[in-house]
């Protein structure tokens, strides 16, 4: 009888009903690193960094080996995670000056009319907090507290965006509490302490914690106590501090009696940017490119009793899938008045036998340009006009190339000539994306407007 009840509950969870048949809605913690490479943590083969906490997390949860960010740079990847949409869908693929990320004082930002994970879960009674790097607009209309988060603590840009006119600020909610924090070696500790406080303060209600780390984006500022702790210089030291931070968070969940009712997901916004520090092995490429090393990222997910321990999945999944998946677990409804590109991947996470990726195709955009498409094991780099910009395309190539990622993960062998039907099928998917999401000068019929203000409002410390 007990087995029957348990099986029934798991079946309900897989389907994703209006509300899960469990005593309490699950807490959700998403840790989103900055520029962390595919092989920079132990569960994905790191030889330079000691990550015992993440190693144990993988043993107690699931590794997603074919998990993707939707872009290989900062702003677009964050827009996708929170909205469940490709960056071009929500017009966050370029800034107002056609650059790849937003800068201090931008007039552009994530449109407040977009529906974020935080907003969906807040409607279900969740406490919500964003702690860390935001990078989706610094005008008050675009800040986390205008996008469904009850509170915000962190740096609104990348760690390298320290400007004479806008010194890199540290914020609490809408207020700058310090500036010139670019070289602050305590930033990871501060984020971690804030996360622990949030968890303890909301232990009696469901919560969503979004922790987008400043680490390991340049300049490298690991904590003093971690200096020299790795075999990989300051970069490795900071990776190991991230692991320490994960340990503090997981320990807090256990001490507060929340461990078995909390889904924790750890991943990165894109691949490592560096050649000598950080590793995307065995993938080709790096941050800013559309080969696998730019967009395939490490991902570990843990939820004791719900996600099978020591599991691994090679099904295609992405940050865009988090919104519909978390919505299902929380009993929220995915918006039906707009296109949401993500899919519910709970069947994969729950270890359902023979669970497959819900994506018939996954698209690799670099800024405004569609450069590749993946379907199953096949990845096609589409042919492009060399007169148009090809930023991020491997070696700036413009010709069509096909790779079987199951046999050639490093994308070394172009097999397009031997597989014309595969090429034709994937080009068909690519054309669907061009029509829906657009491509370079071609607007997409399914695109929505970004947020826009006429007067910029950079975050400055009031003297």
Residue 223 token pair: 């904590």
CA pair distance 235, 301, nearest whole angstrom: 24
Dist CA 425 CA 437 (whole Å): 18
**Terminal CA-CA length for the chain:** 67
Beta bridge partners of 166: none
Q: Mark whether 85 is an active-site residue.
A: no
Q: Please give the structure tokens belonging to residue 456.
A: 């910029």
Catalytic residue among 49, 135, 213, 306: 135
**Which of 71, 74, 100, 130 does the annotation list as catalytic?**
74
Among 275, 167, 269, 170, which residue's Cα sits nearest to residue 217?
269
Contacts of residue 299, Cβ cutoff 8 Å, sequence gap at least 6: 63, 64, 67, 265, 266, 267, 317
Q: How do strand 401-404 and strand 378-381 relate by DSSP bridges?
A: antiparallel
- 22 upstream amide cis, omega within 30 of 0: no
- Which among 16, 28, 75 has a CA at the least distance from the CA of 344? 16
Q: In what order do the strands lie in the sheet with 317-318?
A: 296-297, 67-68, 317-318
Q: How many CB atoms lie within 10 A of CB 337?
A: 5
Instruction: Determine the Cα–Cα distance for residues 396 and 393; give it in Å rounded to an integer.
Output: 5
Q: Measuring CA to CA, which residue among 128, 96, 124, 94 is closest to residue 20?
A: 124
Specify whether the CB–CB gap between 136 and 147 falls below 8 A.
yes
Residue 390 CB neighbour total at 10 angstroms: 19
- Give the residue from 201, 188, 77 showing the smallest Cα distance to 134: 77
State the pairing for strand pair 451-452/108-109. Answer: antiparallel
Assess whether 359 carries a catalytic annotation.
no
Which position has the token pair 């960010």? 69
Provide the token pair at 98.
């056609």
Residue 108 C-beta-side C-alpha neighbours within 13 Å: 19
Please list the alpha-helical segments (H only) found in 256-285.
Answer: none
Question: Of 266, 259, 216, 263, which is closest to residue 241 (Cα–Cα)?
Answer: 216
Secondary structure E strands in 13-121: 27-33, 62-64, 67-68, 108-109
Give 314's Cβ-side CA count (13 Å radius): 6
Catalytic residues: 74, 135
């Amino acid at each position: 009888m007990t087995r029957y009840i348990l099986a029934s509950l798991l079946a309900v969870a897989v389907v994703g009903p209006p509300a899960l048949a469990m005593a309490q809605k699950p807490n959700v913690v998403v840790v989103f690193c900055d520029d962390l490479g595919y092989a920079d943590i132990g569960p994905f083969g790191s030889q330079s960094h000691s990550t015992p906490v993440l190693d144990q997390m993988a043993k107690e949860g699931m590794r997603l080996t074919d998990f993707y960010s939707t872009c290989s740079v900062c702003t677009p990847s964050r827009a996708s995670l929170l909205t469940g949409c490709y960056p071009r869908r929500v017009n966050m693929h370029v800034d107002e000056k056609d650059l790849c990320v937003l800068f201090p004082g931008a007039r552009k930002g994530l449109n407040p009319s977009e529906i974020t994970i935080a907003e969906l879960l807040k409607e279900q009674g969740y406490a919500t907090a964003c702690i860390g790097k935001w990078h989706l607009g610094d005008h008050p209309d675009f800040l986390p507290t205008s996008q469904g988060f009850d509170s915000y603590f962190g740096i609104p840009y990348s760690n390298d965006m320290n400007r004479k006119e806008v010194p890199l600020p540290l914020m609490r909610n809408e207020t700058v509490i310090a500036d010139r924090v670019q070289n602050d070696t305590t930033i990871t500790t501060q984020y971690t302490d804030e996360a622990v406080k949030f968890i303890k303060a909301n232990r009696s209600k469901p919560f969503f914690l979004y922790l987008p780390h400043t680490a390991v984006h340049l300049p490298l500022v690991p904590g003093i106590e971690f200096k020299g702790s790795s075999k990989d210089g300051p970069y490795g030291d900071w990776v190991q501090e991230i692991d320490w931070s994960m340990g503090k968070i997981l320990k807090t969940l256990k001490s507060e009696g929340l461990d078995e009712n909390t889904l924790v997901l750890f991943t990165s916004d894109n691949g490592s940017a560096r050649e000598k520090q950080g590793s995307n092995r065995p993938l080709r490429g790096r941050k800013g490119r559309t080969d696998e090393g730019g967009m395939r990222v490490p991902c570990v997910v843990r939820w004791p009793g719900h996600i099978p321990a020591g599991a691994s999945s090679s099904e295609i999944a992405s940050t865009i899938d988090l919104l519909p998946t978390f919505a299902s677990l929380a009993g929220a409804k995915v918006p039906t008045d707009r296109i949401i590109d993500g899919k519910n991947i709970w069947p994969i996470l729950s270890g359902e036998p023979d669970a497959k990726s819900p994506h018939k195709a996954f698209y690799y955009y670099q800024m405004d340009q569609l450069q590749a498409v993946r379907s199953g094991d096949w990845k096609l780099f589409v042919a492009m006009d060399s007169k148009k910009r090809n930023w991020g395309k491997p070696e700036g190539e413009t010709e069509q190339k096909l790779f079987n990622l199951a046999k050639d993960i490093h994308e070394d062998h172009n097999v397009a000539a031997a597989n014309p039907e595969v090429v034709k099928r994937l080009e068909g998917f690519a054309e669907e994306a061009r029509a829906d999401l657009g491509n370079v000068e071609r607007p997409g019929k399914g695109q929505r407007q970004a947020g826009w203000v006429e007067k910029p409002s950079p975050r400055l410390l009031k003297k």
